[in-house]
Amino acid sequence: MGFELPRRHEHLAPHTRDRVTHVVVDARMAVSGGIGTYLQNLLPRVVAARPGWSFTLLGDPHAMRSLGWSSLPNVQMQRCASSYYTLTEQVELPLRCPTSVDVFWAPHYNIPLLLRHRIVVTVHDVCHLALPETTGGWLKRSYARVMFSQVGRRAATILFDSEFSRAELGRFAAARGRTAVAPLGVDESWFCARTGAPERPLADPYRVYVGNWQRH
């Protein structure tokens, strides 16, 4: 799915190389659209690619079990119920994070600011900064500016879906750590055409829109 993993632990501190690498993932958005789809397609593949690593998923265990993640042998789940973009998540995420963590993977820019471990962040876009008129109020815009600035300061590695997104972040926040573009993959099911007539007649011509209903 286009996710580049560290090879031979070169991005880990020397004292972690002789034991199992432990990755903690903020999976609270696992069943949401967008980032949820990203996690549903990518996370099982990352876990399968590193059978010798240990993964702790933070989120709703019931939702994660519905995705089949509880059957993954090197995965454990930890309840984390705080809402996104809140002070509560800033307190709960570090508390739920095991002390043995080597890397915390945040699939969105709302990173735990109080966590003192290595952080990898996926930045899908920076529309909150590039298109402030779509953000919805000065408070949300201020939050986005602060958090993206902290992502640039704190993240050991920032993953981007595209070169465009990487360049866009560079316009608003400097990245101190490593950056990498990991294009989104396409699941094999998309290459299997359905046979037979459509479930309902389609008007001709017709349009299909795939995405969130947002101004941008």
Give CA–CA dist 96/91, Å, rounded.
Answer: 9
Query: What does the pLDDT average to over 82-99?
Result: 96
Output the six-digit token pair for 146. Answer: 């602060």
Mean pLDDT rounded to a whole number for the chain: 88
**Whole-number pLDDT of residue 77:** 97
Of 1.10.10.10, 1.10.260.40, 2.60.40.740, 3.40.50.2000, the CATH number of 19-191 is 3.40.50.2000
**pLDDT at 75 > cutoff 90:** yes
**Whole-number pLDDT of residue 17:** 52
**pLDDT at 216 > cutoff 80:** no
Q: What does pTM read for this prediction?
A: 0.84
Domain regions of the chain by residue span: 19-191
**pLDDT at 14 > cutoff 50:** no
**Omega within 30 of 0 (cis) for the link into 205:** yes
Output the six-digit token pair for 172. Answer: 């608003």
**Whole-number pLDDT of residue 8:** 40
**Whole-number pLDDT of residue 18:** 61
Q: Phi/psi of residue 107, each to 5°?
A: -80, 10
**pLDDT at 12 > cutoff 80:** no
- Give whole-number Cα distances, 161 to 94, 108, 111, 168, 169, in Å: 26, 12, 18, 12, 12
